[in-house]
Amino acid sequence: MKNLDPARAKWIRVRMGLLCGIMALGLGGFVSSAYRVQVEDAASWKETAENQRQRRLHIEPKRGGIYDRNGAALAASVEVPSISADVVEMLKGIDGQNAQAAALIDFSTRIAGALGMDPSDVHQKLANRRRFVWLKRRVTAEEAQAIRELGDLKKHGSTYGPGKGVVKGLGVEGEGRRYYPGRELAGPVLGFVAPDGFGKDGLELSLDEELRGRVEEVRGLRDRSGRLIFSEGTTDESSLAGHDVQLAIDQAIQRVAERELDVAFRTYETKGASLIVMDPTTGDLLAMVSVPGFNPNDYGEAEPDARRDRAVTDRFEPGSVMKVFTVAAALAAGSLKPTETIFCEHGTYSIGNVTIHDTHQNDWLSTTQVLAKSSNIGALKIGLGLGEPGLYGAYRRFGFGEPTGLPLPGEASGVLRPRARPWFEVETANASFGQGISVTTVQLAAAMTAIANGGKVMEPILVRKITDSRGNVVKEWSPRVRREAVPQTVAKTVTEMLTAVVEDGGTGVEAAMSGFRVAGKTATAQKVDPATGKYSEDKYTASFVGFVPADKPRLVIAVVLDEPMIGRYGGDLAGPVFRRVAEASLRYLGVPPSNAAPKIKNVKGSDADPSLVAIQKPGDPAQVEGSEPASAPASPDAPGAPVGPAALAGPPLPSSVKVPDTAGMGARDAVRAVGAVGLVPVVEGSGKLVKQLPPAGSAVPKGSSVRLVFEPAS
């Protein structure tokens, strides 16, 4: 620069200085930015990098299982494969919109062939070109293997795209599926789980929070086998798993109860039915049955009505079963003595403008006979003697008018009119024999435990305990006495009275068991016709509630049949169901028969053979109650009880009939033909009718049994 003009040299030095300054400023800014990125904002940039490298995963914990009291699985979760797709990855390496569109069509066809789907449905899912889309969930092992082969590099080499190349972006994800090993067993109690993983109906719904477990979001990847690879160590998926639930239900007793109730449901062509088996000393619900039922594995095929748990949701007028609690309350209050006799007004009694009838024109009946013959007039006189406050308070002590507190959705509390005003005399009279109030099957069973165990109403227990995945008890239900309904001496006295119901002359002889003393009560309550607001003459609720053995009760069983089409009387329809369930359950529990118990003769199906089904016997004692508000009779259990004014005015029935010819008929038609003439069909076996005794055309007394033997067709 010495040879340069001084002015030019100066200008060069200025330019160099400016350039160096600019470079220094740029370098300083770069260093400052690098410091900020690598030091000051290091944490946020690291998080951004991790987000780009990894994906967020929602860990769906394994749903807890539901088990019976002995540990047998009633509901379990199993891992099944589901197919997903990353469409962006699938089209990677294929250039051009037209080429990609053609590739999607080809991929859709090949994927649809592997999954057994419609190609148009697959193409519709791929057309959105999302990073994640479900193609088909919960597929078979064969379908999952076919998808793996589509993306197998070893099989197709490195060729991608249409044709026979590898289809990239397909994933086989592991998903939980709810499985019910017992199929229809306890279906309405258990409910089901929807594809979104949430419980619907039954225990799956009410205990959904405990069963689902804790859903957690983590960052990581899944390998080809569906196992999680976590960026920050490993997460124990068992720590997130749902809790296990152990029920009080015994699978063996539940199965027997469902079988017998289903036979009655189909034989008597009822609208529905429910049954409860309860341990009177602990309150454990050993069986809870509702028919028609459904298979939770195929819940989509079931009607909503079949998924309803009738034992807790359906309320009905109980009828004569309430006479048990009326008598117990009067004995406890001292308004009635066990040896007292009641004048039953020759079978007709008027209160205001309402006339109440007994089928038999009884005069004086003891308290035991009031129960055994199911006299409405005797019961209402006992109720009126107790008084409206005493009767209402007694029903409340037995648990009526309030839910039992079972962890099931939709439990009804029944209807026991609140005492906002005193009951009218006719309301008290009707309530004393089970009209004008409504109950549920589980309420009846729980109330009867107070008679069976010495006066204490036990809280029904459906869930015994909830445990976590490590076996630690989270919550446990122990036997709990809700209240004392009556003194122990009164309960024992009523028990002895109830044994007369199943003895000769009582309304429940069909419930009698050889080797065991049975205590119970029948009911055949007329239902209210919604169209008229009056009691129907052809719609009934037939029930039997009792316990066995009477001297040391092990089981309380409540059987309720809703609107049977063949027969109507609770003793004849529900009594045999009680007997067969009780016999099988006592054998299962190892309870030996008592030598002191009466030997029952000529009781149909007393050996608990499920193939023997006794149909309603018109000539047997039975109970019908229900009176129209004005003057229609409320007729009690009685042999051949006519129903309604028209029936009372009709001609007397003949003393003998001819046995109809049932040759060539199916089981249902044969049962109807025999029952239509007033005979009792006794069905043995299934299939083709091979024998009829007595033979067709024989003249036999009305009410006699006709044996119909069926054998499977060869």
- Per the structure block, which two tokens stand in for 177? 């599926």
571 and 604 Cβ atoms separated by less than 8 Å: no
Backbone region of residue 253 per phi and psi (left: phi > 0; alpha: psi in -120 to 50; beta: other values) = alpha
DSSP code of residue 306: G
> Is residue 110 predicted with pLDDT exceeding 70?
yes
The pLDDT value given to residue 609: 34
Closest CA to 623 of 207, 387, 324: 324
**The amino acid at 1:** M
Report the catalytic residues: 320
> Is residue 218 predicted with pLDDT exceeding 70?
no
Pairs from 650-653 (Cβ < 8 Å, separation ≥ 24)? 653/678, 653/702
| Average pLDDT for the chain | 81
Mean pLDDT of all residues in 357-363:
79
Kindly give, in sequence order, each residue whose CB lies less than 8 Å from that of residue 587, ignoring residues fewer than 6 positions away. Answer: none
Which tops the pLDDT comparison, 541 or 606?
541
> Is residue 172 predicted with pLDDT exceeding 50?
yes
- Per the structure block, which two tokens stand in for 33? 């930015």
- Name the least confident of 174-178, 232-236, 252-256, 492-496: 232-236
The pLDDT value given to residue 604: 39
3-state secondary structure at position 681:
strand
- Name the least confident of 139-143, 426-430, 558-562: 139-143
- Name the least confident of 255-264, 390-399, 523-532: 523-532
- Name the least confident of 4-13, 449-458, 474-483: 4-13
Mean pLDDT of all residues in 387-396:
92
Mean pLDDT of all residues in 596-604:
47
The pLDDT value given to residue 282: 95
> Is residue 57 predicted with pLDDT exceeding 60?
no
Max Cα–Cα distance, the chain, nearest Å: 152
Task: Find residue 656's DSSP bridge partners.
Answer: 701
- Name the least confident of 162-166, 329-333, 431-435: 162-166
Confidence of residue 448 (pLDDT cuts 50, 70, 90): very high
Which tops the pLDDT comparison, 298 or 234?
298
> Is residue 125 predicted with pLDDT exceeding 60?
yes
Kindly give, in sequence order, each residue whose CB lies less than 8 Å from that of residue 397, ignoring residues fewer than 6 positions away. Answer: 457, 483, 484, 485, 486
Range among 155-169, 334-348, 539-553 with highest mean pLDDT value: 539-553
Q: Where are the domains of the chain?
A: 6-53, 57-246, 252-650, 651-714
Buried b (16+ CB within 10 A) or exposed e, 470-498: eeeeeeebeeeebeebbeeebbbbbbebb
Confidence of residue 321 (pLDDT cuts 50, 70, 90): very high
DSSP code of residue 405: -
Look up tokens 């039975």; give the residue: 622
Burial of 125 (0-12, 13-18, 19+ CB in 10 A): middle
Mean pLDDT of all residues in 392-410:
93
Look up tokens 């490590």; give the residue: 470
DSSP code of residue 501: G
The pLDDT value given to residue 239: 59
Closest CA to 507 of 624, 587, 364: 624
Which tops the pLDDT comparison, 541 or 12?
541
> Is residue 232 predicted with pLDDT exceeding 60?
no
Would you state the CATH architecture of domain 57-246? Alpha-Beta Complex (3.90)
Four-residue CA torsion sign, 182, 185, 190, 194: positive
Confidence of residue 447 (pLDDT cuts 50, 70, 90): very high
Confidence of residue 229 (pLDDT cuts 50, 70, 90): low
> Is residue 257 predicted with pLDDT exceeding 50?
yes
Mean pLDDT of all residues in 35-40:
81
Closest CA to 321 of 509, 541, 553: 541
Mean pLDDT of all residues in 555-571:
93
- Name the least confident of 53-67, 183-197, 365-379, 467-481: 53-67
- Name the least confident of 49-58, 302-311, 423-432, 461-470: 49-58
Closest CA to 392 of 376, 415, 370: 415
Percent of the chain with pLDDT over 70: 82
Backbone region of residue 113 per phi and psi (left: phi > 0; alpha: psi in -120 to 50; beta: other values) = alpha
Pairs from 156-163 (Cβ < 8 Å, separation ≥ 24)? 160/92, 160/93, 160/94, 161/93, 161/94, 161/103, 162/102, 162/103, 162/106, 162/107, 163/106
| One CATH from 3.50.30.10, 2.60.40.10, 3.30.10.20, 3.40.50.150 for 651-714 | 3.30.10.20
Q: Residues 628-687: pLDDT tens digits?
A: 333 333 333 433 333 332 222 233 334 577 888 888 787 777 877 877 777 777 777 667
DSSP notation for 239-253: GGPPPEEEES--HHH
The pLDDT value given to residue 44: 78
The pLDDT value given to residue 695: 87
Would you state the CATH architecture of domain 252-650? 3-Layer(aba) Sandwich (3.40)
> Is residue 277 predicted with pLDDT exceeding 70?
yes
